Amino acid sequence: MLESKTYRFSFLFLLLILVLVFTLNISSGSVSIPINETINALFGGTLQNESWSYIIWDYRIPKALTAILVGAGLALSGLLMQTLFRNPLAGPFVLGISSGASLGAALLIMGSSVLASFFSFGLINDISLAIAASIGSFLVLMVVISVATKVKDTMALLIIGLMFGSITSAIVSVLSYFTNAEKLQQYIYWSYGSLGNLSWRQLGLLFALVLAGIFLSILSIKSLNAMLLGENYARSLGVNMKTSRYLIIIATGILAGSITAFAGPIAFVGLAVPHLTRQIFNTTDHRILMPAVLIYGAILMLICDTIAQLPTSANVLPINAVTSIIGAPVVIWLLIRKRKMMF
Amino acid sequence: MAANHDNITFSVRDLAIGYSLKKEKALIASNINFDTIKGELTAIIGINGIGKSTLLRTLGKVQPKLSGVVELNGKSLDNYKPIELAADLSLVLTEPIASKNMTVAELLALGRSPYTNWLGALSKEDVLKVEDAIQQMELAKIQHKKCYELSDGQLQRVMIARALVQDTAVILLDEPTTHLDLYHKVQILKLLKSIAHRTNKTIVFTTHEIEIAIQICDKILVLDGTVNAFDKPNKLIEQKAFDTLFPSDTVFFDAQNGSFKIKE
């Protein structure tokens, strides 16, 4: 708070980078569109090439906006979890929240065909998928939090997260055995993670959900800061731990759940971005960390997506693979550099 | 002992402390009665496992009491909301803080949480309180250091400063002098005493340093689980309250010197 000027400068700088990578992301892809034409399109100008305008507005901008929402939301949910669980390794992926979302999605996509004789909800639309994945991630989060209050050992939590991953993959393989090829393909495609499948309408829904998650997180800023001291100290500072904990869990569930539902499970962003942000901003204050993590997450996701495009190639890598390839070394580097990971 | 009623902070009657595990109750100590007064430094002493920390945590509402009455400023502790209690009582616990990645200044600022707005922004008064505590606990040189860079003694001073920043009528400290050498033990306790006397705060702490407590504290609670004598140190010596504190086969209390001697 004392150095608010330097923070303002850092934020301006970050926003500038965000705009830069956003533009870069839109201009690159299987069809290469020159940067100046991209900027022209963004400001509503007419392009020399009619198809470029179509590509930019109906495909690339929704995809870039999805990347921003996904990166920002996952990074924020990682930050919330690291503080809530007092664990630097916490994140939507590690704690099994993404697995929970996958399970919800798998049950909906493949389970509906298995259980078709009992239920006749043949239509799997984006909203039901989002709800199923959110419920899945939410349930896992509730289990994790109930264990966390009983078991003080953070190691146990991580193992539980791993176990949920195993249970998910087991149930998915059972389901895939009984389901038809089309549904299986739909699920596997979803599980690769993808930013490019969202229509403007779906994007609006995701935007609303991420915004709700951010809103709840902002309400929790003060309690999150107090929680840095530990639960008993936080309570002694007047924090209503029960309410705050639920608020944070709901925020995390909405963020991780809805994002995983729309974009598939995306690893490492939630874990790595908060740590990178703490390194660069050198603070633990959530008033600074929260906006910083949102912007960083968005930047990182846009960069990952740009890499996934493989410029000038028609192939697109699964986004989940790219974030892992970039994210895992970052975590290792942080561990080696600081020797101890802290939150 | 006839203390003015307005001066009483904690009023404890027939308190029983312990743990409730499912339906069973594990009683640790009972029949605890005492009043704390504004401007006094009180020590809770006793043998290992007698429940010093449990008592302190019960007073601080970190854990529930088993039975009895605990009143703070004339109001039952049960009826305090967290935010109300935060303005009346601050804690220094033995448990490590969750994030040692905070700087000293950031940690101290958190002490103002009960008074700041919903975002936790510090007002001018809040900043003054932080600066005041930094000066009192002599933390100016380390205020921009991260907590993981501090020694045990420094961190202890920071945690006490944080309690001062919270600016409450009562401060409870659980073993504030463990891990410190004799010099720093005495230094911290003398500082606590001067804060209590100067700012009219009630300061209660648990300790194993009986001999230092006898010399420094205004009042001592000798926790033995049954009698739980509470008085001024010299009165307690007269009452031979320290004589039965430890099993008599190893050490005995030398009333003349106010210290324990090893039995030959």
B110-167 pLDDT, tens per residue?
A: 999 999 999 989 999 999 999 999 999 999 999 999 999 999 889 999 999 999 999 9
CA distance A285 to chain B (A): 8
CA distance B58 to chain A (A): 12
Please judge whether B106 and A283 are an interchain contact, meaning their C-beta atoms are less than 8 angstroms apart: yes
CA separation for the pair A271, A293 (Å, rounded): 11
Q: Checking DSSP bridges between strand B202-206 and strand B219-222, what pairing results, if any?
A: unpaired
Tell me which chain B residue has its CA closest to the CA of residue A283. Answer: B102
Per-residue pLDDT at B1: 46
CA distance B32 to chain A (A): 23
Cβ contacts of A236 on chain B, cutoff 8 Å: 60, 62, 85-86, 89-91
Find which of A237, A240, A340 to mutate to test the B interface (most B CBs within 10 Å of its CB). Answer: A237
DSSP state of A57: I
Q: Which of A9-18, A275-284, B49-58 has the lowest mean pLDDT?
A: A275-284
Q: Report the percent of chain A where pLDDT is more than 90.
A: 31
| Rg of chain B, C-alpha, whole Å | 19
Q: Is the per-residue pLDDT at A114 higher than 80?
A: no
Per-residue pLDDT at B173: 97
Average pLDDT score over chain A: 84
Identity at B30, one-letter amino acid code: S
CA distance B208 to chain A (A): 23
Per-residue pLDDT at A339: 57
Domains and CATH numbers, chain A: 66-338 (1.10.3470.10)
* Number of A–B residue contacts, CB under 8 Å: 90
Q: Which of A137-141, A283-287, B58-62 has the lowest mean pLDDT?
A: A137-141
Please judge whether A237 and B99 are an interchain contact, meaning their C-beta atoms are less than 8 angstroms apart: no
Q: Is A181 on the interface with B (CB under 8 A)?
A: no
CA separation for the pair A40, A110 (Å, rounded): 44
Q: Which residue has the higher pLDDT, B174 or A241?
A: B174
Tell me which chain B residue has its CA closest to the CA of residue A217. Answer: B119
A64-79 pLDDT, tens per residue?
A: 999 999 999 999 999 9
Q: Is the per-residue pLDDT at B259 higher than 80?
A: yes
Identity at A58, one-letter amino acid code: D
Closest by CA to A234, choosing from B58, B146, B114, is B114
Domains and CATH numbers, chain B: 5-262 (3.40.50.300)
Per-residue pLDDT at A120: 43
Please judge whether B85 and A240 are an interchain contact, meaning their C-beta atoms are less than 8 angstroms apart: no
Mean of pLDDT values over A1-17: 79
Per-residue pLDDT at B52: 95
DSSP state of B80: -
Closest by CA to B63, choosing from B102, B19, B23, is B19
- Helices and strands counted in chain A (H then E): 16, 0
CA separation for the pair A35, A23 (Å, rounded): 7
B198-207 pLDDT, tens per residue?
A: 999 999 999 9
Classified as helix, coil or strand, B139 is coil
Q: Is B123 on the interface with A (CB under 8 A)?
A: no
Average pLDDT score over chain B: 92
Cβ contacts of B103 on chain A, cutoff 8 Å: 283-284
Q: Checking DSSP bridges between strand B170-173 and strand B202-206, what pairing results, if any?
A: parallel
Q: Report the percent of chain A where pLDDT is more than 70.
A: 91
Tell me which chain A residue has its CA closest to the CA of residue B95. Answer: A230
Mean of pLDDT values over A18-39: 86
Q: Which residue has the higher pLDDT, A131 or A290?
A: A290
Identity at A137, one-letter amino acid code: S
Identify the bridge partners of residue B69 per DSSP, sorted by sequence position.
B13
Per-residue pLDDT at A100: 87
Contact A220, A250 (CB under 8 A): no
CA separation for the pair B187, B190 (Å, rounded): 5
Triad A75, A78, A79: Cα angle to 5°: 90
Q: What DSSP element (H or E) covers B25?
A: strand B24-37
Per-residue pLDDT at A1: 43
Q: Checking DSSP bridges between strand B89-92 and strand B170-173, what pairing results, if any?
A: parallel
DSSP state of A267: -
Mean of pLDDT values over A102-118: 72
Contact B195, B166 (CB under 8 A): no
CA separation for the pair A78, B214 (Å, rounded): 50
A144-200 pLDDT, tens per residue?
A: 778 777 776 667 777 887 888 888 888 888 888 888 888 888 888 888 888 887 888
Closest by CA to A107, choosing from A97, A115, A117, A98, is A115
Per-residue pLDDT at A198: 84
Per-residue pLDDT at A340: 60
Cβ contacts of A239 on chain B, cutoff 8 Å: 82, 113
Identity at A211, one-letter amino acid code: L
Query: Half-sphere exposure of residue B184, counting CA atoms within 13 Å on the CB side?
Result: 14
Q: Which of B60, B102, B120 sits opposite A287 (nearest CB)?
A: B120
B68-121 pLDDT, tens per residue?
A: 999 999 999 999 999 999 999 999 999 999 889 999 999 999 999 999 999 989
Q: Which residue has the higher pLDDT, B14 or B179?
A: B14
Whether ipTM > 0.95 holds is: no
Per-residue pLDDT at A64: 95
pLDDT bracket for residue A327 (50, 70, 90): confident
Cβ contacts of B121 on chain A, cutoff 8 Å: 1, 287
Tell me which chain B residue has its CA closest to the CA of residue A88. Answer: B99
The structure tokens 């107090």 sit at A226
pLDDT bracket for residue A341 (50, 70, 90): low
Contact A52, A189 (CB under 8 A): no
Please judge whether B113 and A240 are an interchain contact, meaning their C-beta atoms are less than 8 angstroms apart: no
Q: Is the per-residue pLDDT at A119 higher than 60?
A: no
